[in-house]
Structure 1
Amino acid sequence: MSKADNMLSILWMLRSGRKVTAHQIADELEIHVRTVYRCIDSLCASGAPIIADSGPNGGFRILGHFAESPLLFDAEEQKALVHASIFAKETGYPFTDVLQRAIDKLKRYTNEKQLHQMERHSSGLSVLQPPVHEEQRSLLQMLETSSAHGQTLKMIYSNGREGGTVSRDFDPYSIIHWKGQWYAAGYCRLRQEIRNFRVDRIIGLEMTDQHFERPADFSARDALLGALLPDPGNHEPLVTVVIQGHEHVLNELSQHWLFGHALVKRLPGEAHFQLGSSSLTAYVPYFLLPYGKSLHILEPASLVLKLSEITTDMAHHYEQMITAMTNNEG
C-alpha cells in the first residue's frame, strides 16, 4: 500500500477507540514498525490528535472528540454503501470481489457501535436476482475494462434461436443492467452501427490492437431503449390499443417498458396506448398473455385475433402432450 493508504488505515484503527501499539499496527497492516512511526509522525503533523501512552499498557490512541467525528462516512453513508454493495453483488456486478474488500475494510476500521449498526442494516435488505455465472462475470469485466481503455474487442456472438455464431469487431461503449439481464452497447464494426448485445449470448471475447473513442454524447439508456421502442423517424403507422381491466392491473401494465412509453390516455378502468403496427404481431401479444382474463381488449381486432391464434396453437400443443401421455400410460 502507498503511504497515504497506510496513514488512512492507521487513522481508521485509532478511530475505533482501541489503544494499539506500533507492533500491533505493523502486524495488522503487514508493514514494518518503522513505517508505522513515520506514518504517525505525518498524521500528527497534519493535525490528527494522536496520543502515545508509555508503560506496560501503553500504545497509541486518539482524542475522544476526534474519534467520534466522522472521518469519511457517517452512519447513514455507511448504511447506504453496505446496501449498495448488496444490490451490486446480487445483480452480478463484475467487480464484486473488489467491492467486498472495500466493505470489509470499512467494517474493519470502525468502532463496535457503528459495526453493529452496519450489520443490522445489512441483514435488513435482500435482493432477489437470477444468479450470474462466473463465465459471464469474466466477460463483463473484460467489456468494462475495454470500455474504459477504449480498446476494440473481437467478439464471437451466438444468434440465439437461429443457431450458429458470428465473429465481429466491437467497440464496447457501456455495459448495461436492465430487467435482470446484462447488455453491452457499442459500435459494431461488422454492421457499421450502434448495436446492443446480450452478454449471456457472448461466446468469447479477445482484445485487439485497435482503439476507439466513445462519443461524448453517447447514452447507454438511449441506445438500449431506442432499439426497443418505436422510432419516431421511421414513420411506421401507430395503432391505438384500448384495454380495460382492474386498476392495479392497468397500473402494472402502464409501468411496462413498452406500454409505459406508449400510454396516451388513462381513464378509470381503461388505458389507451399507441403502438407501432409491426409490434402488434411481433411481441405485444406475448407481453399481454400473462395477464390472462384480467384484461379486456376493446381494440384493435387484429390484436385480439393474434392472441386467439397464439392461445389456440398453445392449446393444441398441450392437447398433443396429454394425448401422448395417455397413450404411454395405456
Structure 2
Amino acid sequence: MRASRLLSILLLLQARGRLTAQQLADELEVSVRTVYRDMESLAAAGVPLYGEAGHDGGYRLVDGYRTRLTGLTAGEAEALFLAGLPGPAADLGLGTVLATAQLKLMAALPDELRDRANVLQQRFHLDPAGWYSAPDPTPHLAAVVDAVWHQRRIRVRYHRWTAPQDVIRTLEPYGVVFKAGRWYLVARGTDRIRTYRVSQIRRVWTLDTRFDRPDGFDLAGHWRAYLDDFDVRRQRGVAVVRLSADLLAHLPDLVEPGVARAARESAEPTDRDGWLRVVIPIESVEHATGMLLRLGANAEVLAPIELRERIAETVTAMAATYAV
C-alpha cells in the first residue's frame, strides 16, 4: 500500500509540478504528517526532490527527472489501453496522437505487461455509440474544441427545437462531453451554463476575446448534476400500467433503464393470471403513447385517463388503417 502511494506521489509531482503537502494529502486521502514521512523516504531512496517553504512553496522534482513506467501493475497497464477510444479521439483530431502514445507506452512496458496488453487489445473492444443510430455529423467540432483549449469566446448559430429555431449565441466554452455517440458542448451564455448539442451548431465564429474559467469548475461533476436535473425535469408524471410477468422480464430491452427499474421496483400482483400492476415515470402523454404502444397487447394503461384514451384512439385508428 505504501509503495503504491510513493509511486503516486512521484507521478503527481511529475505531472503537475509543485504541490504542497496539503494538496498531496488531499489527493492521496492521507494526513499531512504521512506525506512528510513519505517525502523523507523518497529523499532517502535517492529521488531528487526539494521543498520550498512559504505561501508559494511546496515539493518539486528536480528539473529533468522522470519516473519510468516499469512501476505499472498489470491491471493499470490494461486499464490504460482500454481507456483510449479511437473514434472520439479521431473526432478531436487526436487519433494519430493516441496511436503514437500507445506505441510509446507499449515500448516502455516490461515484456510480461506488453504481452498482456497485446492480448487485451485482441479480446476487448469498446464501442460507445448507441444501437440503431447513425453518428451525428459534427463539422464544427474542431473549432469548438480549439476554443475550449484556448479559452476563446465563440459566437454560434444554433438550431434548436423550439421557435425561433435558428438563434445566435455568444458563448464561453468550458468543455465538451462525449455521450452515447454524440458530442455536447458545456458553455456559459448570457445568464448561466447550458448544454448544446454540437451537431446542432450550424456555424462558428471564434472571437478574439478570452475568458477566465470559474475557479474549481469540474466538468465531470457538472455533467453528472446536469443529467440528474435533466431526468427530474423531463419525468413530469407517472402512469399506472397492468402488464404480464413475461413482459416485465423483457422490459429492459424495450424501454429506457429508469422506466424498467421503476416498473420492477413497483410491481405487485393484480389477478390470478400472473399479471402485474406497475407505476412508471412518463415525460408527457404524447411521449408515453409511443413508448407504451411499443409494448403491444401485453400491457394495459390504467391511469392517467388521458393516456389510456390516447392509446385507445391510436389503436382504433391503426385498426381502421389496416382493415381489409
Task: Decide: shared fold, TM above 0.5.
Answer: yes
Q: What's 1:143 paired with?
A: 144
Residue 300 of structure 2: SS of its match in structure 1? strand
Q: What's 2:166 paired with?
A: 165
Deviations 1:263-321 (A, max 9, x none): 9734464431354xxx32242333334333443323223223333445566677x869x
Amino acid at match of 2:124: L
1:185 Cα deviation from its structure 2 partner: 2.5
1:208 Cα deviation from its structure 2 partner: 1.2
Residue 240 of structure 2: SS of its match in structure 1? strand
Deviates more, 1:150-159 or 1:73-82: 150-159
8 Å CA contact retained: 2:153, 2:209: yes
Distance in structure 2 (CA, Å) of the matches to 1:156 and 1:243: 46
User: What does 1:133-212 align with in structure 2 at a 5 Å threshold?
Assistant: 136=138, 139-159=140-160, 165-189=166-190, 192-212=191-211
The correspondence for 2:280, drawn from 264, 268, 273, is 273
- Does the C-alpha gap of structure 1 residues 83 and 315 become closer, same or farther in structure 2, counting only changes over 3 Å? farther
Residue 183 of structure 1: SS of its match in structure 2? strand
Q: What's 1:222 paired with?
A: 225
1:103 Cα deviation from its structure 2 partner: 0.9
Q: What's 2:10 paired with?
A: none
Deviations 1:196-239 (A, max 9, x none): 2211222222221333344446612323452453279xxx7x44
- Does the C-alpha gap of structure 1 residues 97 and 132 become closer, same or farther in structure 2, counting only changes over 3 Å? farther
Distance in structure 1 (CA, Å) of the matches to 2:75 and 2:202: 42
8 Å CA contact retained: 2:82, 2:126: no
Deviates more, 1:194-203 or 1:222-231: 222-231
Unpaired segments ≥5 residues, structure 2? 1-45, 49-67, 270-275
The correspondence for 1:89, drawn from 77, 82, 86, is 86
Q: What's 2:122 paired with?
A: 123
Distance in structure 2 (CA, Å) of the matches to 1:271 and 1:211: 53
**Percent identity of paired positions between Structure 1 and Structure 2:** 20
1:125 Cα deviation from its structure 2 partner: 1.3
Aligned residues: 242
**Structure 1-normalised TM-score?**
0.57
Amino acid at match of 1:207: T
Which structure has the greater CA radius of gyration?
A: 1
- Does the C-alpha gap of structure 1 residues 147 and 265 become closer, same or farther in structure 2, counting only changes over 3 Å? farther
- Check if 1:79 corresponds to 2:78: yes
Unpaired segments ≥5 residues, structure 1? 1-44, 48-68, 324-330
8 Å CA contact retained: 1:90, 1:127: no
Deviations 1:57-87 (A, max 9, x none): xxxxxxxxxxxx96242222111111111xx
Distance in structure 2 (CA, Å) of the matches to 1:183 and 1:260: 27
Distance in structure 1 (CA, Å) of the matches to 2:185 and 2:255: 27
**Structure 2-normalised TM-score?**
0.58
Distance in structure 2 (CA, Å) of the matches to 1:164 and 1:224: 24
Distance in structure 1 (CA, Å) of the matches to 2:147 and 2:286: 34
Deviations 1:134-185 (A, max 9, x none): x62x644443443354322111222469796332212223322333322222
Amino acid at match of 2:147: S
User: What does 1:281-292 align with in structure 2 at a 5 Å threshold?
Assistant: 281-292=285-296
8 Å CA contact retained: 1:160, 1:201: no
1:107 Cα deviation from its structure 2 partner: 1.6
